Structure 1
Amino acid sequence: MSKAFGFTAFGGPETQELLDRPVPVPGPGELLIAVRAAGVNPADWKMRRGLFSRELPLPAVLGYEVAGVVQEAGDGAGGFAAGDAVFGIALAGGYAEHTLLAAANTARKPEGVSFVQAAALPVAGATAYDGVQQLGLEPGRTLLILGIAGGVGSAAAQIARARGITVLGTASDPNRAYVESLGATQVRYGEGVAERIRAVAPGGVDGIFDLVGGADARAAAETLTDPSKLVSTADSATAAELGGSYIRRTGNGATLAALAELVASGDLDPNITATYPLERAGEALAEVESRHAHGKLVIEIG
C-alpha cells in the first residue's frame, strides 16, 4: 500500500484525509514514480470543491505537480528507466508516496535542481514559459504582465528577462519591492492603469501577457503597439475581441526541460517559501486556499 492525501467527497477542507491506496500500476507510455516532492496550487482546492468536474471517482488524491524517482516504466515509456530522477504532471494525484506520469510529458531532473524546485515548475512555470514563447518577443522589446506578482506572473517575468526583454507588471503598491526583485517595473493596477503604463513606456508596449482579464486588460490593451501580441490565461473571449489570443499550452517534456535548465542556470527562481511533510499537506493547501500564501509551497515526501 501507498500513503496519499486526498478527499472523500466534494466540498471544503473537512473532506480531506490521509488515505491508503494500492501502488499504481503503469500502463503503456506511463511511469510509476516514488514521489519526493509535490507542488501546491489553487487548482488543487478547486478540484476538491468540484469546480472542474464532479465525475471524478472518489476518494481522489490531490495534487498535480510532482518530482520523484522512476520505479517502473510501462511499455513505450520513451527511454526512461528505473532510477531516473524526473518531474511532471501527476496522472494519479501528486500528494502521494507513489503516482504515475505520462512519459511524453515528463522531463529528467538536472543534478543542479532539487526535487523541491522541480516540483514547483509543471503548472505555473510551464504556463509562464508557454505564454512568453507564444508572444515571441525579441530581445530589447517591452512586455507588460498583468498580475505579475502571482506564481505565473513572477515566473514569466524571469523567463522574459532571461531573453533580454524589458518587463513591466501590474501589481499593488505593497508588492513593488517584490516586482523590482524580479528585474521588472511595477505599475499600480486599477483605474488609470493605461496612463501609468504610458508614463513608464511612452511609446507603448510590444506585448501583453494577461493573467487577470477584466477592465485592466481592456485598458492596458490601449497601450499595445500590435494588438495580436496579447496572450491571455484569464479570458479567451476578451482576448479575441482585443485582437489577441488565448494561451496555447504545450504540456510536454521539452517545455519542462527548458524550465529546469533556467533554474539550473540561476535565471529562474521558483520562489519556494515553505515545505511541509505529507502528514501536514492540509495545512499547505489551507494556506493556498486562503490566498495568504507568499511564494510557492511544496510538500516533501519520503
Structure 2
Amino acid sequence: MKMRAVSQSVFGGPEVLEMVEVDRPAPGDGEVVVKVHAVAVNPADWRLRSGQIRYFGEPPFTLGCDVSGVVAATGPGADKFEAGDEVFGMLLSPAGAYAEYVVLAQDSLTRKPKSLDHVHAAALPVAALTAWQGLAKLRSGDRVLIQAAAGGVGHLAVQFARERGATVIGTARAAKHEFLRDLGADQLIDYTTEDFTKIEPVDVVLDLVGGDVAQPSLELVKPGGVFVDALGSDQLAAQPGYFRLYCEANGDELAKIAELVDAGTVKVHVEKVLPLDKVAEAHRLVETGRTTGKIVLTP
C-alpha cells in the first residue's frame, strides 16, 4: 500500500521539500506502525534539510522526529501497544514522521496524554525530552538560567525547573515575558536591551542558543555547577562544568512527562498548525528562531 510523505533529493532551502508517494512501512521486531495525526517541526529539521547537520547522510530522506497518532500495526515482540492505541513519541531515522504512517521502536513511545489532542501531543517529545534530560542535575533551591526560554524547548524547561523547585531565570524578548511569567519564570531578561551576564551566578545553565552566548553563559556557572550545551561547542568542551546534551528517545520519561501534563502541571504551547503540504512554510517559520512554542504539521 502507498502513502504520502515529504522527501528531499538534495540539500538546500525549504523549497527542496516535496510531497511524494512511497510504500507504507511495515514493522520489524519490537516496532509499531503509527498512523500519523500530527508531527512537530524542530530546529534540527531545517539544519538536517540544509545539510548543516549530516546525521542521515546524503538525501533522499524524510524528516520528522516528533509524532502523535494511533497504532496501526505491531511487529514481532512489540507487546506494549495494540492497534488503536493513541500514542506519541520520538524517532531519529531517515524514515521520519513527515508522512501518513511511520515506524517507531515501541520503547520510544508512550500513551498520549489524555488531556491533549494529537497536535499538542506531537509538540512534546523532542522538546520535552531535551528539557527533561538537560535539567537532570537540577535540584530544589538551585538557580537556573534558560537561554531562549520562550522557544519549544525553553518554555517546557521553565515549567520543569519550576516543578523541581528551582529559581528560574530566562532570556526572551520583552513581548514574551508575560507568557513566561505565567509558566513560572521568576526573573526575565530582554536580551535585546539587557546584559544577562549581570545576573548573580547560577547552578545550572541550559543553553539553547549557542554561538556568542555560550562562553559568557558558562562563566555564570558556580563552581560545581553545570553548563548544559544543547547545540555543541568544541571550544568549550574541555572547560569545567561543561556537558554536551544529546536528546535520546525514551518512552518511560515521556510517560512521566505525560503525567505532569495530565495533572495540569505542564502546558505545551503550539504557535501554528499547518497541513503537511505546507511543510516549506513551517520550515521558514522555525528557521527564523523567533517562534513561541512549536509549529505542528497535520497530514
The TM-score normalised by the length of structure 1 is: 0.87
Deviation at 1:78, TM superposition (A): 4.2
Cα distance in 2 for partners of 1:15, 1:286 equals: 12
Q: Residue 96 of structure 1 corresponds to which residue in structure 2?
A: 99
Q: Residue 39 of structure 1 corresponds to which residue in structure 2?
A: 40
1:114-138, CA deviations, whole angstroms, 9 ceiling, x for partnerless residues?
21111111111110010112x231x
Q: Which stretch shows the higher mean deviation, 242-251 or 50-59?
A: 50-59
Matched length: 293
Q: Secondary structure at the match of 2:125?
A: coil
Q: Residue 226 of structure 2 corresponds to which residue in structure 1?
A: 229
Q: Secondary structure at the match of 2:106?
A: strand
Cα distance in 1 for partners of 2:219, 2:13 equals: 41
User: Cα–Cα, structure 1 residues 216 and 17, in superposed 2: closer, same or farther, change >3 Å?
Assistant: closer
Deviation at 1:289, TM superposition (A): 2.4
5 Å-filtered alignment, 1:181-192, equals: 181-184=182-185, 185-189=187-191, 192=195
Q: Residue 119 of structure 1 corresponds to which residue in structure 2?
A: 122
Q: Residue 11 of structure 2 corresponds to which residue in structure 1?
A: 10
Letter aligned with residue 282 of structure 2:
A
1:207 and 2:204 are equivalent in the alignment: yes
Whether contact under 8 Å (1:236, 1:245) holds in the other structure is no
Cα distance in 2 for partners of 1:162, 1:18 equals: 41
Q: Residue 80 of structure 1 corresponds to which residue in structure 2?
A: 81
Deviation at 1:281, TM superposition (A): 2.5
Deviation at 1:57, TM superposition (A): 6.1
5 Å-filtered alignment, 1:255-294, equals: 255-294=253-292
1:78-128, CA deviations, whole angstroms, 9 ceiling, x for partnerless residues?
422211111112442111111111111111113222211111111111100
User: Cα–Cα, structure 1 residues 248 and 274, in superposed 2: closer, same or farther, change >3 Å?
Assistant: closer
1:23-76, CA deviations, whole angstroms, 9 ceiling, x for partnerless residues?
001111111111011001122222222222286464422211111111111112
Q: Which stretch shows the higher mean deviation, 97-106 or 263-272?
A: 263-272
Whether contact under 8 Å (2:151, 2:294) holds in the other structure is no
User: Cα–Cα, structure 1 residues 116 and 192, in superposed 2: closer, same or farther, change >3 Å?
Assistant: closer
Structure 2, unmatched stretches of 5+, are: none
Whether contact under 8 Å (2:203, 2:225) holds in the other structure is no
Letter aligned with residue 5 of structure 1:
V
Q: Which stretch shows the higher mean deviation, 142-151 or 50-59?
A: 50-59
Q: Secondary structure at the match of 1:167?
A: strand
Q: Secondary structure at the match of 2:108?
A: strand
Deviation at 1:192, TM superposition (A): 4.4
Cα distance in 2 for partners of 1:55, 1:120 equals: 22
Cα distance in 1 for partners of 2:25, 2:157 equals: 34
Whether contact under 8 Å (2:156, 2:266) holds in the other structure is yes
Q: Residue 109 of structure 1 corresponds to which residue in structure 2?
A: 112
Q: Residue 297 of structure 1 corresponds to which residue in structure 2?
A: 295
Q: Secondary structure at the match of 2:107?
A: strand
Deviation at 1:292, TM superposition (A): 4.5
Cα distance in 1 for partners of 2:217, 2:46 equals: 31
Structure 1, unmatched stretches of 5+, are: 199-203
Whether contact under 8 Å (1:170, 1:188) holds in the other structure is yes
Q: Which stretch shows the higher mean deviation, 205-214 or 162-171?
A: 205-214
Deviation at 1:5, TM superposition (A): 1.9
Whether contact under 8 Å (1:230, 1:239) holds in the other structure is no
1:165 and 2:166 are equivalent in the alignment: yes
Q: Secondary structure at the match of 2:36?
A: strand
Whether contact under 8 Å (1:232, 1:239) holds in the other structure is no
Letter aligned with residue 149 of structure 1:
A
1:22 and 2:23 are equivalent in the alignment: yes
Q: Which stretch shows the higher mean deviation, 283-292 or 115-124?
A: 283-292
1:194 and 2:201 are equivalent in the alignment: no
Q: Residue 201 of structure 1 corresponds to which residue in structure 2?
A: none
Q: Which stretch shows the higher mean deviation, 115-124 or 52-61?
A: 52-61
User: Cα–Cα, structure 1 residues 242 and 171, in superposed 2: closer, same or farther, change >3 Å?
Assistant: farther
CA RMSD of aligned residues (A): 2.3
Whether contact under 8 Å (1:171, 1:188) holds in the other structure is yes
User: Cα–Cα, structure 1 residues 214 and 43, in superposed 2: closer, same or farther, change >3 Å?
Assistant: closer
Whether contact under 8 Å (1:209, 1:230) holds in the other structure is yes
Letter aligned with residue 202 of structure 2:
V
Q: Secondary structure at the match of 2:6?
A: strand
